[in-house]
């Protein structure tokens, strides 16, 4: 990878036709705090084994010219993270490509846990059920900012 190539962190939303783009800006800022360019997926986050989002991510991962170092998934996007990592096509990817993707797996607003992902993956799960589902990406951003020593001056509601 050339030094000037962007290091991408995929961003997967929930079910877009219901939720809109809630959380897009918060998840994009999380990617930037971690030193990555946000790469917004086009597909919706319906939670199905071979969902459109799972297919889109696998296509991206099969394109070695697109450097990917993980994914942030909100709601259905978080469930799809689990589906992606369990998919037979994912397991067929070169080991380094899988390791790169597993550098940052961030699930927001879904009842998933670290045990659902490959052993050794850097998994962070953020759930804030008391704030309302659509506010969870903002609270995840606040938590990431705190974890990285960045002052938190963003409103949450």
Beta bridge partners of 37: 8
Q: What is the pLDDT of residues 124-137, one digit of tens each?
A: 999 999 998 888 99
Q: Is residue 153, in this structure, part of any structural domain at all? A: no
Give the domain range for residue 16: 8-147
Q: Give SS3 for 14.
A: coil
Number of structural domains the chain divides into: 1
Q: Is residue 115, in this structure, part of any structural domain at all? A: yes
Q: Quick one: tokens of 94?
A: 């070169």
* First and final C-alpha spacing in the chain: 40
pLDDT at 61: 97
CB neighbour burial string for 31-62, b if at least 16 within 10 angstroms, e if fewer: beebebebbebebbbbbeeebebbebbbebbe
Q: Is residue 3, in this structure, part of any structural domain at all? A: no
pLDDT at 28: 94
Print pLDDT tens along the chain (157 aa). Answer: 555 678 999 999 888 655 556 688 899 999 999 999 999 998 988 888 889 999 999 999 999 999 999 999 999 999 999 999 999 999 999 999 999 999 999 999 999 999 999 999 999 999 999 998 888 999 999 999 999 999 876 665 5
Q: Is residue 157, in this structure, part of any structural domain at all? A: no
Q: Is residue 61, in this structure, part of any structural domain at all? A: yes
Q: Is residue 35, in this structure, part of any structural domain at all? A: yes
pLDDT at 3: 59
Q: Is residue 21, in this structure, part of any structural domain at all? A: yes
Q: Is residue 107, in this structure, part of any structural domain at all? A: yes
CATH assignment at residue 53: 3.40.50.1820
């Amino acid at each position: 990878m050339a030094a000037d190539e962007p290091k991408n962190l995929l961003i997967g939303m929930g079910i877009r036709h219901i939720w809109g783009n809630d959380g897009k800006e918060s998840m994009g800022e999380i990617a930037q705090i971690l030193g990555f360019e946000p790469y917004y997926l086009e597909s919706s986050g319906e939670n199905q084994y071979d969902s459109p989002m799972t297919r889109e991510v696998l296509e991206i991962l099969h394109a070695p010219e697109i450097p990917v170092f993980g994914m942030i998934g909100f709601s259905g996007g978080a469930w799809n993270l689990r589906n992606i990592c369990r998919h037979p096509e994912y397991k067929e990817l070169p080991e380094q490509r899988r390791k790169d993707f597993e550098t940052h797996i961030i699930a927001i607003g879904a009842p998933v846990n670290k045990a659902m992902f490959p052993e050794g993956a850097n998994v962070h799960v953020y759930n804030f059920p008391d704030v309302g589902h659509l506010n969870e990406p903002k609270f995840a951003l606040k938590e990431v900012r705190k974890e990285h020593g960045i002052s938190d001056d963003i409103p949450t509601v």
